[in-house]
Amino acid sequence: MLDQPNAKKLKLVILGNGMAAGRVMDELFARAPERYDVVVFGAEPRVNYDRIMLSPVLSGEKAYADILIHTDEWYATNKVDLRRGELVVAIDRAAKTVTTQSGAVEAYDTLIIATGSKPILIPVPGAELPGVVTYRDLDDVNLMLDAAGKGGHAVVIGGGLLGLEAAAGLAMRGMTTTVVHLMPTLMERQLDPNAAYLLQKAIEARGIEVLTGANTAAILGDTCVESVRLDDGRTLPTDLVVMAVGIRPNTALAKLADLNVKRGIVVDDHLRTSDDHIYAVGECVEHRGQCYGLVAPLYDMAKTLAATLAGETVDGYIGSTTSTKLKVTGVDLFSAGDFAEGDVKDEIVLRDPARGIYKRVVLRDDRIIGAVLYGDTADGSWYFDLLKKNVDIGAMRNALILGQAYQGGVALDPVAAVAALPDDAEICGCNGVCKGAITQAITANGLTTLDDVRARTKASASCGQCTAKVESLLAATLGDNYSAAGRKPMCKCTDLTHSEVRGFILSKELKSVPAVMQELAWKTSCGCPSCRPALNYYLLCAWPGEYADDAQSRYINERVHANIQKDGTFSVVPRMWGGLTTPDELRAIADVADRFKIPTVKVTGGQRIDLLGVRKEDLPAVWAQLNSAGLVSGAAYAKGLRTVKTCVGSEWCRFGTQDSTGLGVKLERFMCGSWAPAKVKLGVSGCPRNCAESTVKDIGVICVESGYDIHIAGAAGLHVRQTDLLGHVDTEDEAIEYIAAFMQMYREEAGYLERVWKWVENAGLDKVRAAIMDDADNRRALLARFEKSQRAVRRDPWAERAAGREQHEFTPLATLNSIIAVPAE
């Protein structure tokens, strides 16, 4: 419905700022952007975010910034008055006002209650002890992350969706985790016993203990949680208890207002409560006797409510059929409908024990009434569509279990299979987006990429399990005009992208090159020169201290710690910390040049000395002599830290504002040995005159009177690019912390051989700034992972810093292990 010009706006007040409320606003603003003045009261002190993606945040696969649905800019653009952290405690239906905990009163013409649900706390002794948390919002996740940062044991009570996701996330964070579940099998409401058996095997394979048929009797501890006692007498020592046993609609406010409430707030098909001026939506609602705890029904309700508020004539919400997916990376699981034992049913079962695949489709009168898929869920949405439409599958029964691609006896490719779906077939279950909505958005708005489709329709923007289908729709709709440039496979050996491979290395806990190639179905027996170095780097980054560096997966330069030249000889570059050297080091270099008759000795742009023309057979002896003089490899060949260029700074220069040389030395000693996707060069300039050329480095520091300006993403090679300002810090310690955190973020997110400048352009400078400059918790977590990686190659340099030493001690050979070890002949 189009808004009437000059019409007086109505006041719409929304209680709750979760996913249901957010979707109502999205739908309403698309239909009638000027109809209402909107005020939103949110109990949480933050904007709207995707709660179904809390599990990847807990596991470390996503950050808070990655799961935002509506940013501050969105609220401002749509003129929404967001009252974050402001809890409404009363509704006066007669006066049509709401009152907050602080006493503020807000009038409304129309009110929406979207207060969601509350987690269930089982009534056992000790349930109120510190260390007992629920799993419902970002605050709960932060409590779990704080606990996980200290290590120790965790007990998760509840083996349903949320419980298993919490357990997987805590295990990935390093906690020893046990799941305690009352019922005989996991996820008994969503899975049959066969699928639950496979799921338990997969969970236990991650090192998580699973206790089924176990009832919690008490939580023990004096001042905080110490253990959990089961009713069979077993005691489980623990530092954290996560209760994930279910939810119930949050109806307290509606009850106080004397609205009709049963299990939830009772609404009609237009989401209207027993008061004509008050609507309710989401998990707090009871519709036709049903309460929903999944996101798809909430979005169905939101669409109906928004259309009603816009003044459109709509049929109303009639309820939802739901499906289930588990958001544990590497676990493929889908279920929908009725698959309980008994009754007059028929079923088709496929088992593949070697591949861990189990499929079961339950029929009644040649119509699907339930489906359970484990290990291969590609046809889940197709079965779900047949179930919802009550399609007679008699003609396709013999090939039904093989999936959509085999109907009619001919295997369709993925693009053709998706193209064959009807327009009302659901593609994205999380956001309730059908095929027709996606194809219409592509053609009407000229969308050409997956990100375009996500931004316009939200398809594939939540759990991501429908990504392949969305890409197939792009290909089917655009034909020859579609280029999946954003999804380029690593190499000819695999169809997976760099990011997908990295994700599987973590989720499947793959810790060797052969394991990656076997588990990810590499097309070649031993890879190629493109993928092997990348895999070696990804494994080093994922499992510092556990994965043994594979020399044969490195380029020749890295294997011999020298750069090969056009005549087959090599150049050797000893490290000079921050460009500083001593007479003894210079003599040692001169002695090596004389002894091995090295023809050229040159000063490099990185303030070091390059010995050019070294024969390969002399390299071991050259390095042995340099090592004996205390000189280590400058890693001039490295996909990692190479140099930290400095000027003389305040110690000598009349313009210097800070000790740039000292900071450069500290940075180089701290970061030495840190492998990266590509070469990384730093510069530290003692004043804005920038003699160290810091504004064309991957990371640069400009010293100023008030502290240090940190710059990133410069380049001075084939691609010349001036740095972007990351931010300002006051102290040397802060400069080292922020730079190390940035380096770790780059290491974890960039593709192999992707330079810093290219990664920042792709990731977005605002995202990087937010992660490093604004999010202290995220920055410290990145720093901790960087330190862990550094400890894997040498002793902890931060220990010296914490002890107040002015610069880090360094032991050349023993502590850098293979990174600077003398190469074998």
3-class DSSP state for residue 785? helix
Q: List the binding residues.
A: 647, 653, 687, 691
Note down the domain range covering 506: 489-554
Q: Are residues 562 and 677 in the same domain?
A: no
Residue in the structure block whose two tokens are 């695949």:
357
One domain for residues 582 and 720: no
What amino acid is encoded at 763 in this protein?
A: A
Helix segments in 543-659, DSSP class H: 556-560, 583-595, 619-628
Query: How many residues would you count in the chain?
Result: 825
pLDDT band at 408 (very low <50, low <70, confident <90, very high): low
Task: Quote the CA–CA distance of 42 and 184 in Å, as a whole number.
Answer: 39
- In this prediction, residue 483 carries a pLDDT of 67
pTM, rounded to two decimals? 0.57
pLDDT surpasses 80 at 488? no
In a domain, 393, yes or no: no
239 within some domain: yes
CA 314 – CA 305 distance, rounded (Å): 9
CATH code (residue 142): 3.50.50.60
477, part of any domain: no
Quick one: 720 and 735 in the same domain? Answer: yes
Q: Which residues are annotated as a binding site for siroheme?
A: 691
424 three-class SS: coil
Is the same domain home to 547 and 619? no
Residue 86 pLDDT level (bands cut at 50, 70, 90):
very high
Q: Do 569 and 696 belong to one domain?
A: no
**Alpha helices for 569-689 (secondary structure H):** 583-595, 619-628, 660-671
How much is the pLDDT for 463? 57
Point out which residues pair with 348 in neighbouring strands: 361
Using an 8 Å Cβ cutoff, are 395 and 439 in contact? no
Average pLDDT in the chain? 88
Strand ordering across the sheet containing 209-211: 132-134, 240-243, 153-157, 176-180, 209-211
- Report the CATH number at residue 563: 3.90.480.10
pLDDT digits (tens, 9 = 90+) for 5-40: 556 899 999 999 999 999 999 999 999 999 999 999
**Domain end position, chosen among 538, 554, 570:** 554
CA distances from 682 to 567, 604, 696, 781, 789 (A): 30, 14, 9, 22, 19
| Rg value, the chain, Cα | 30
Of 20-24, 292-296, 457-461, minimum mean pLDDT range: 457-461
Q: What is the pLDDT of residues 532-583, one digit of tens each?
A: 899 999 999 999 888 878 777 887 888 888 889 989 899 999 999 999 999 9
C-beta separation of 564 from 556 below 8 A: yes
Asked, for residue 108, whether it belongs to a domain, the answer is: yes
Band of pLDDT at residue 343, cut at 50, 70 and 90: low
The secondary element (H helix, E strand) that includes residue 450 is helix 450-457
Total domains in the chain come to: 5
CA distances from 17 to 23, 25, 324 (A): 10, 10, 24
pLDDT for residue 276 is more than 50: yes
Q: Which of 584, 604, 580 is nearest to 592 (CA)?
A: 584
Per the annotation, where are the binding residues for [4Fe-4S] cluster?
Answer: 647, 653, 687, 691
Give the separation between CA 764 and CA 107, rounded to whole angstroms. Answer: 41
Does residue 84 sit in the same domain as residue 188?
A: no
- 780 with 655, same domain? yes
Strand partners for 685: 702
Give the number of other Cβ atoms within 10 Å of residue 731's Cβ: 10
Taking each helix axis as running N to C, give the angle between helix 19-31 and helix 295-309, from 0 to 180 degrees, rounded to the nearest 10: 40
Q: What whole-number distance in Å separates Cα of residue 656 and Cα of residue 672?
A: 26
